Amino acid sequence: MVFERPEKGTTGRTRTLLLIIGVSLCLVAIRLWSLQIANGSRYREKGLRNRIRTVILKPRRGNIYDRNSLLLVGNTLRYDASVDYTEMERNREARALLVRVLQRVLGLSEAQIKKRLDPRKAIHYLPVKVQRGITEQQFYQLKSVEADVPGLLAEVEASRDYVEGSLAAHVLGAVGAISPEMYRRYKKYGYRRDDVVGIMGLERMFERVLQGNKGKMKVQVDYRSRLDRIIEEKKPQPGKSLYLTIDVRLQRTAENALSGKKGAIVALDPRNGDVLALASSPTFDPNVYSLPRSDEDVENILAWGHDPNKPLYNRAVRVAYSLGSAFKPIVALAGLEARTISKNTTFHCPGAFYLPGVSRPWRCYHNYRHGWVSIENALKRSCNVFFYNLGRKLGAEAMCAMAARLHLGEKTGIVLPIEARGINPDETWRNSSDLRARSFVTWYAGNTINLSIGQGPLEVTPLQTACAYAAIANGGTYYHPRLVSKIMGGQRNMLFPVRSEPLGVGESSLRTIKEGLRKVAQEPRGTAYRVFEDVSFLKVAGKTGTAQYGPNNELAYAWFVGYAPCDDPRIVVVVLVEEGETGGATAAPLAKQVLTDFFTLGG
């Protein structure tokens, strides 16, 4: 496969270059210095005490770039003060010297050092970090006396750097100390108990790719631990780099739009399924997870973990929501495909709908009386009564079948560690062991009426919704979402292919739906007309949705799903806001910001 060289802006290139130089220097440094230190005495050969050493050479972790090759995640240097027990002299004077040196250089009390040197904290054969993240000056001070203080180690390590801070945190993830469980799983690849690994997001998903492989060097040293000769050397293989489909600029717009709210924004390219932005709010700073962690970092991490607003959750893929009226285009599509209705079919909306034998009415939105409405106008004005009638004629299975065709209620397979499946409440689900299915084993006519406007057990993620609408927008091809476009480095690069399948629905059905969605944003009285009135040149089409929830239905999931330009869509945007008012008031304005920026940036 042939790859184009990624083009970078000057800043990006300089930065990358500096980083490469930095990391290379670091590796050289580790090598040279490691040769002088007593390390890995497990491999010491009998009779050659302090003569043969094995030094582990750590690989550089791969970088992560956005779709324009802008660096999102790289590495910086970090200095640590450590003690190697296996080299520490057993006599009291040598130990006292070690403590004195650490005390003087690090400015710690004797008690603090002794506490940190507690042998019970030591892991087999691994040096104990007395202090992570010491200053460069402290590092050189320790380095200068290292050879004369048995057991003392001044170490250099690469530390993860999330260049844009919290931006795209839910996608990128974070690194941290390897868990016992991960250690067991990765031991066969040469992982050690003190390794730093991906613990969330892409960092975790692509841990093996990003980590690289350790090298090893067997050396002979003189009585003062200086290098005599290299006996054997296996170079470390650096980690590979990930190139994302995310556009960092659009990601920033999406996150700014969500600021102070709970919710998610997904932007997709409907022509290939590329994820352009995947934002979730509230968020967190992945840098805080990187070791070393200060007491404040640890407090933050604990607070995020316990926060009822769940800032660590990626709401775009990990949480499934009731879709409300944004489900109507799927119902409409099912109706047209089943020929239950045509483009010209009208139903009368007197403001409410009654089922025979049920006294409780199903109301139209805000009790509107829309009169006679066709499918296009029913979408435009979000008339519930039209869809109650259509849903009743169609039946639940036909609606669920169309939802399934659009992959709603199933995992999209995006390359992130945790994805919600959601619920497509078809017969299989209703008879499944899912606890929530129990109250729907008997499916009433009223359940079908609710489903026709996206109420009831149907639950989808914002990402699933984006993919489904992309298929409608592009005229009938379902693209599986692509978040990583390529992995570069090593022997050969790897491209992630675009994966698609035809929806198999009629072109004229899609045309009718799209005309309805166009009216929503472009014709007076459309539910999002007011929002997009002043940006009519963007030619937005879309659908609002408001799904009530909470103990007294006092809260709402506010949705807007849109795309533009409506006749040749280049972007699909899904906005979901929890505790919102309505889709039109809460979600559509955020979609407008994203769409406006997308086209300002050059689309």
State yes or no: residue 199 binds Zn ion (CB under 5 A).
Answer: no
State yes or no: residue 174 binds Zn ion (CB under 5 A).
Answer: no
Residue 391: which of 347, 424, 421, 442 has the closest Cα?
347
Angstrom CA distances, 178 to 147, 170, 291, stand at 30, 19, 11
Long-range contacts of 7-12 (CB under 8 A, 24+ apart): 7/68, 7/69, 8/69, 8/70, 9/70, 12/69, 12/70, 12/71
CB of 519 to Zn ion, least distance (A): 15
CB of 384 to Zn ion, least distance (A): 6
CA atoms of 123 and 221, how far apart (whole Å): 25
State yes or no: residue 385 binds Zn ion (CB under 5 A).
Answer: yes
CB of 552 to Zn ion, least distance (A): 24
Q: Which is nearer to Zn ion, 370 or 543 (CB)?
A: 370
Bond preceding residue 462 cis, omega within 30 of 0: no
State yes or no: residue 449 binds Zn ion (CB under 5 A).
Answer: no
CB of 272 to Zn ion, least distance (A): 37
- How many residues make contact with Zn ion (CB under 5 A)? 5
Stretch that binds Zn ion, among 118-126, 203-211, 266-274, 360-368 (CB under 5 A): 360-368
CA atoms of 514 and 372, how far apart (whole Å): 20
Q: Which is nearer to Zn ion, 336 or 364 (CB)?
A: 364
Site string for Zn ion, 64-103 (x = CB under 5 A): ----------------------------------------
CB of 355 to Zn ion, least distance (A): 16
Q: Which of 202, 333, 364, 558 binds Zn ion (CB under 5 A)?
A: 364
Q: Which of 178, 383, 510, 591 binds Zn ion (CB under 5 A)?
A: 383
CB of 363 to Zn ion, least distance (A): 9
Stretch that binds Zn ion, among 32-40, 376-384, 466-474, 524-532 (CB under 5 A): 376-384
Using a 10 angstrom Cβ sphere, with 0-12 exposed, 13-18 middle and 19 or more buried, the burial of residue 582 is buried
CB of 347 to Zn ion, least distance (A): 9
Stretch that binds Zn ion, among 236-244, 359-367, 467-475, 491-499 (CB under 5 A): 359-367
State yes or no: residue 129 binds Zn ion (CB under 5 A).
Answer: no
Q: Which residue has the tokens 């999209």?
A: 412
CA atoms of 245 and 539, how far apart (whole Å): 24
Q: Which residues contact 130 (CB under 8 A, 6 or more apart)?
A: 81, 82, 83, 102, 106, 113, 116, 117
Tell me the two tokens of residue 346.
């009208």
Q: Which is nearer to Zn ion, 197 or 385 (CB)?
A: 385
Q: Which residues contact 505 (CB under 8 A, 6 or more apart)?
A: 333, 337, 405, 476
Dihedral sign for Cα 435, 437, 440, 446, please.
Answer: positive
CA dihedral 330, 335, 338, 343 (to 10 degrees): -120
State yes or no: residue 23 binds Zn ion (CB under 5 A).
Answer: no
Q: Which is nearer to Zn ion, 346 or 432 (CB)?
A: 346
CB of 346 to Zn ion, least distance (A): 12
Residue 490: which of 192, 213, 232, 159 has the closest Cα?
213
83 in Cβ contact with 117 (< 8 Å) = yes
State yes or no: residue 60 binds Zn ion (CB under 5 A).
Answer: no
3-class secondary-structure state, position 480: coil
State yes or no: residue 370 binds Zn ion (CB under 5 A).
Answer: yes
CB of 364 to Zn ion, least distance (A): 3
Q: Which is nearer to Zn ion, 172 or 383 (CB)?
A: 383
Among residue numbers 316 through 355, which ones bind Zn ion (CB under 5 A)? 349
DSSP per-residue codes, 545-579 = EEEEESTTS-EEEEEEEEEESTTS--EEEEEEETT
Q: Which is nearer to Zn ion, 42 or 348 (CB)?
A: 348
Q: How far is CA 188 from the centre of its chain?
A: 27
- Name the residues that contact Zn ion, by CB under 5 A: 349, 364, 370, 383, 385
